[in-house]
Chains A and B, each alone.
Chain A
Amino acid sequence: MMNSTNDNNGEDFGANPFRSVDVFYDESDAQNQQQSQHQQQQQQQSSIPDPFQQQQQQSLSQPTNSFSYPMMTTNNNNNSNGMMPSGPMDNINMNNNMNMNMASTQQFQQQQPAGLMAPPPQLQPMAQQQHQHQQQQPTSWWGNILMCLNLDSYKMYFDIDADDIVTRIRAVILHFYKPEHFRNNVVGPVKTAELKGPDLYGPFWITMTLIFILGVTANFHAFIHHTTSIHTGGGSSSSSNSNGGGNTTTTTTTSTTTAAEDEFDYDINHLLNAAYICCGFVFVLPTTLWITTQCCMSMKALTLAEWVCLYGYSLVPFLPVAVLCIIPFAIVSWVLLAVATAVSVLLVVRNVAHPLLANDVGQAKAPPVILIILGAHVVFFLFLKFAFFHHSG
């Protein structure tokens, strides 16, 4: 009941950017040979994968990533989808497979993509047998956009429990240095029976939390700097406020410092800058890297969801560090932020390097990408330091 629909039957290219070819797809896998004949048929005309076939196979053996999705004739991409269908696949009955094969043989000649919003012809016999509502498979650009706006498309990335989130956060803190550990053993590249696959809940709310904490602590830091400079600089104002969030500090000065200098103005720009920086780091940067590796370099390594998930969880070390950076000493901020950056970049690089280097194309083109990832982290670190926790003099 939790996932009321599934949307991942769509094998439409460009349909859902969170999909990409699974790099571990192996043609000669024994699992697929039983279904190879069916699949060859389906690969040629059907736009609907029958993931539950593979799911059954997979449930028998250990969950690997080697299942194939049918290919569209209109595209040359070998779009073997690494995404595992979510819970609702359990509700699809067995007859679908047979009927779909029959339908596909009947409609072998129909290879044109369906109309704007109409379901492709192969879906219609299947739809009547689905117990629950299944999303139409968009085959056009406009349909893809509408599917991105539909809430149900994202439900599979929120199919996560509180325990899983805690496990992932602990894995970031404890196992960040282990190669491939976070991606393979904690998150899982695809959704399987044991590992839930990349989620978007963690990245989104960790980012929001970090934005809020940065907005508050940057002002705390400025406030403490302000009051200490008043103490050491001019007068002996006895403003002993422990709360730095207020608009005005009610200082009871007993010295000759002017009232204007005692005012601490809360800077709302810290919050806005934090929002831009963090959102750009967690959402825009992984998207850019995904587009670069997927489309420009044709490296089929990580899905978009995995990129965003990795980058989102890589912000976890910054959460306690941002709180600790209230301490007004500059060296403390430098050291703490450097440590957090190191943890974060290790997590990302260790999990990304192997898939990027795995295939032949990657051998040549992956090192610049990894260098870009490193550079982006360093830039993020400098941004944090100089935008939020820096005062000259």
Chain B
Amino acid sequence: MMQPNNGGGPQWANPQGTQQQHATAVSLAQQEDAFFAPLSTLDEPVRETIMRDVRSVASKLKVVLLPMDRTIPYGGYAGVSQTENIELTDRDKQIIESLRDWDLWGPLIVCLGLAVLLSFNAPVGQASLVFATVFCAVWLGAAVVTINTQLLGGTISFFQSVCVLGYGVFPMTMAAVVVLLFKMLPLGVFSVLVEVAVLFVAFLWSTRASSVFIGQYIVASRRVLAVFPVLFFYTFLAWLVLLF
């Protein structure tokens, strides 16, 4: 992360944005910060600590949401630049860069959102069963796809891949919201077709985002073999959403 250094202290002692308000701190404090650099985040307000993670998750979600627009050059995304992505060339490179520092909070939030949404609509006695099914399906499916990628010789790390697949479920969650709304509307046959269309779009979206990332870590001759399970995973999730 290339952050402008606000005088004093090594680059890595300044997490993004936190030390900027201390630009005028006395040199002793800065020296202390430099010395105790790994502990320097103790002085920041708790809100800042939390917001750092929230911003990280939000930026990755944005990156996952945007891969459908391949034609708009980077200039069109001037308003969407995140502090973590200073990639100037390819949209795909942007995705890769931002998803490289993985975290599991985002996938957890997304997966919980999806499971809770689907369990709302379940029959009364089966809400917990539906929740458990969706939750396990997401995590086990991500693990299976990751193991498959690694067995094929991919150099991606386990949690990185699980993180990417988990973030890729986010379009599915949004589609589940839409589907839920449509199920409540008394539109009859038309609603089913709309549900299928929405889920199909979400499925394409998720698969595109995930396979761009995962494909980078696999030899070209085997990329299809690694992408097919991703496709399968999201098809399964879309089918679960349609079902429940």
Q: What is the minimal beta-carbon distance from B27 to any residue of chain A, in angstroms?
A: 49
Number of CB contacts from chain A to chain B under 8 A? 74
- When distances are taken between beta carbons in the complex, the residues of chain A under 8 Å from B224 are 162
Residues of chain B lying within 8 A (CB to CB) of residue A208: 232
Given A246-B242, A247-B244 in contact, is the A155-B225 Cβ separation under 8 Å? no
B-side interface residues toward A, CB under 8 Å? 147-148, 150-153, 155, 186, 188-189, 191-193, 195-196, 219, 221-225, 228-229, 232, 235-236, 239, 242-244
Query: In the bound complex, how far is the Cα of B196 from the Cα of A191, in angstroms?
Result: 44
Size range of the interface on A?
Answer: 20 to 34
Asked whether A155 lies within 8 Å of B151 as measured between CB atoms, the reply is: yes
Question: Are the C-beta atoms of A250 and B191 separated by less than 8 Å?
Answer: yes
The reply to whether A245 and B151 form a contact with Cβ atoms under 8 Å apart is: no
Closest to B147 in A: A151
A-B contact pairs, 21 of them (CB 8 A): A1-B155, A2-B219, A154-B151, A158-B151, A158-B153, A159-B153, A160-B152, A161-B222, A201-B148, A201-B151, A201-B225, A205-B148, A205-B228, A208-B232, A209-B232, A240-B189, A242-B193, A245-B242, A245-B243, A247-B243, A250-B189
Q: Which of A242, A243, A252 contacts B188 (CB 8 A)?
A: A252
Compute how far the CA of A163 lies from the CA of B189 in the bound complex, rounded to whole angstroms.
Answer: 42
Main secondary structure of the interface of B (DSSP, over half): helix
Measured between beta carbons, the chain B residues less than 8 angstroms from A239 are 189
Contact between A162 and B243, CB atoms less than 8 A apart: no
Taking the nearest CB of chain B, how far is it from the CB of A268, in angstroms? Answer: 8
Contacts of B192 in A (CB 8 A): 241, 243, 246, 250
Contact A201 B152 (CB under 8 A): yes
Contacting pair A162 B222 (CB below 8 A):
yes
Cα–Cα, bound, A241→B223 (Å): 37
Identify the closest chain B residue to A201 (Cβ).
B225
Known interface pairs A159-B153, A250-B191, A252-B188. Does A205 touch B244 (Cβ–Cβ under 8 Å)?
no
Q: Does A216 contact B (CB under 8 A)?
A: yes
A19 to B57, CA, bound (A): 47
- Is there a chain B Cβ closer than 8 Å to A165's Cβ? yes
Chain A residues numbered 1-45 whose CB sits less than 8 Å from any CB in chain B: 1-4
Contact between chains at A163 and B151 (CB < 8 Å): no
Chain A minimum-CB-distance residue to B235: A212
Cβ–Cβ < 8 Å partners of B243 in chain A? 245-247, 266, 268
Interface positions, chain A 271-309, Cβ under 8 Å from B, are none
Say yes or no: A212-B236 contact (C-beta < 8 A), given A163-B221, A245-B243.
yes
Supplied contacts A4-B153, A250-B192, 17 more A-B pairs, CB within 8 Å: A1-B155, A2-B152, A2-B153, A159-B153, A161-B222, A161-B225, A162-B222, A205-B232, A209-B232, A212-B232, A212-B239, A239-B189, A241-B192, A242-B193, A245-B243, A247-B244, A250-B186
Is A3's CB under 8 angstroms from B225's CB?
A: no
* Contact, CB under 8 Å: B223 / A1: no
**Contact of A241 with B189 in the complex, beta carbons under 8 Å:** yes
Residues of B within 8 A of A163 (CB): 221
Please tell me if the beta carbons of A216 and B189 are within 8 angstroms of each other in the complex: no
Which A154-190 residues sit within 8 Å CB-CB of chain B? 154-155, 157-163, 165
Could you tell me the distance in whole angstroms from the C-beta of A200 to the nearest C-beta in chain B? 8
Q: How near does chain A come to B231, taking the closest CB pair, in angstroms? A: 10
Question: Which residues from chain A contact B151 at a C-beta distance below 8 Å?
Answer: 151, 154-155, 157-158, 201
Q: How far is B218's CA from A162's CA once the two chains are assembled, in angstroms?
A: 12
Taking the nearest CB of chain A, how far is it from the CB of B102, in angstroms? 19
CA of A73 to CA of B153, assembled, Å: 35
